[in-house]
Amino acid sequence: MTRCVALLGGSFDPVHHGHIKLAALYAQLLPADVLRVIPARPWQKARLEASDAERIAMLELAFAGFSVPVVIDTQEIDRDGPTYTVDTLRALRAELGADASIVFLIGADQLQRLDTWRDWRALFELANLGVAARPGFSLADAALPPAVAQELAQRRATPEQLRATPRGLVSVAPSLAVDVSATEIRTALRQGDEASALLPPVVLDYIQQHNLYKN
C-alpha cells in the first residue's frame, strides 16, 4: 500500500485547537501513516512572538498521544532566509520518493489566498491538498481566485483517492466548525481574557509558566 504522509505547516504561535482538529480530521479520513508538523518562519507575516524553541515545545505537548505517529519537522526553521512551502515540498518529495502520497493540509482561509504563494501551481506537482472548510470562509468557486477555482475543478477527489495517489489531487472536507485564530488568542492572553477554550490545557499551562504573549 502507498505510504501516506500528512503535512501540517504553520506559524503555531501558538498551536491551538484549530490546528489539532484539522490534523485529526485528515489523519482519520485518509487515513495517514504519519503526521509531519512543520513550524514555519513565514515571510507573509510579522515577526513571531514565541521563539523557535518555545513553538517546538508547544507542538510536542499538543501532539503527544495523537492518533498517528507525529514528527516535528524543523527544516523550515533550520533553513536560512525566508521559507516557502514549495521548497519544503520539494525537499520532502526528494526524501520520501516519487510514490509516497504527500497530503498538505490547509484551511479554507489559506485556500482563498493560495495564488499569493510562491510557485503555487507547482504545489500540485509535489503533493495533494487536504482542505478543511472554516466558518466564515466560503469554498464555493465564486469565493476563490479564478485561477485557484480552475485548478480545483479539475483536481477534486475523495480522501481515499488522495491516499492512493502521490500528488495532484485536492480533497475538500466538511467544515471543522472551529473558528480560531492565533492572533485572537494572543490578544486574549495579553488582555488577561479566558483563552482555555481555544488551546489544549498543556499548551496553556506552558504559556503561563513561560509568561508568553504578555506584552
* Domain range annotation of the chain: 4-178
Percentage of the chain exceeding pLDDT 70:
93
Compute the distance between CA of residue 99 and CA of residue 205 in angstroms, rounded to an integer: 41
Residues 134-155 pLDDT 10s: 766 666 666 789 999 999 999 9
* Residues with Cβ within 8 Å of residue 2, at least 6 apart in sequence: 99, 100, 101, 163, 164, 165, 166
Interior CA angle at 160 toward 156 and 163, to 5°?
95
Q: Which of 211, 89, 102 is nearest to 163 (CA)?
A: 102
Domain made up of 4-178: CATH architecture: 3-Layer(aba) Sandwich (3.40)
Taking the model in full, what pTM does it have? 0.93
Instruction: In whole angstroms, give the CA distance from residue 154 to residue 159.
Output: 15
pLDDT, tens digit (0-9, with 9 covering 90-100), for 9-60: 999 999 999 999 999 999 999 999 999 999 998 765 668 999 999 999 999 9
Q: What is the DSSP letter of 79?
A: S
